[in-house]
Structure 1
Amino acid sequence: MIIIAAVDDRNGMMFNHRRQSQDKVLREKILSLTAGKLLWMDHYSAKQFDGCTAPQLNIDDRFMWEAAPGEYCFVEDTSVAHFEKWAEQIILFKWNRKYPGDFCFDIDVQKPEWKLSHTEDFAGSSHEKITMEVYDHA
């Protein structure tokens, strides 16, 4: 599986049971990146894609258990540490800001098991700079 998450500078994803931020351009980037593959997410994250008719969307609250190799999982409110051994790649979209956070992305991509293979900056609709970092399992 390929894990996708949006994080702040402290790896925060949520605060008080709400996503820290969202961005229309980021959603479009995720849909473009996952075109032709399955994109799994839970019902909470699916709300961001309301009205979207992308065929790759698969919504299931046990999505991390359902994803097969090569399929994408978009996480916002799910602990992923348990699934690290099945992750082939991690794609982090960084807000380049520090938000209040009480739920964080819980895989340490600085460990030797992960290698940064690609970075890309782009302008979002709500953030002037979003950084995409792609980590491959070493």
Structure 2
Amino acid sequence: MYHNPFHFQIYPPMPVYPVYAMYPQLPRSYPPVDIKIFSQSVHSFRLLMEQGSILLDRLGDAGFAQKMMSAAQQGKNVEVDRLIKSIGLKVPVAAKYTPTGINFILTTQTNQNQPASCCTLTVAMKWGR
């Protein structure tokens, strides 16, 4: 029989233990589900969708789009903001643009019942290469 000098066998063989211990799964307790805030968010988001549709309708006007793209290309941020405000949306809108695209961020308004905005709708569109 051939003897391999690089093969070492340990005597006595070492027992093999599992790498991890098995613990029983404890049942988790969750608080009761309250959909009140979520339902309010759904309602608020519907308003954002309606306002986003109005925004898209206005942006679909070739003359308006020409004015806005021209102002953005020239870095006239005040003019871009003025054009967006002229649409008359009921929610705050912020525009962020680059030479290749524009993002409109529509957010819900805060009030006494909702001190923080619940929802945001971002409309991201390409307008260049």
> Normalised by the shorter chain, which TM-score bucket?
under 0.3
Q: Relative contact order (alpha carbons < 8 A, sep ≥ 6): 1 or 2 greater? A: 1
TM-score (norm 1): 0.22
Give the structure with the larger helix fraction: 2
Which one has the bigger strand percentage?
1
TM-score calculated relative to the size of structure 2 = 0.22
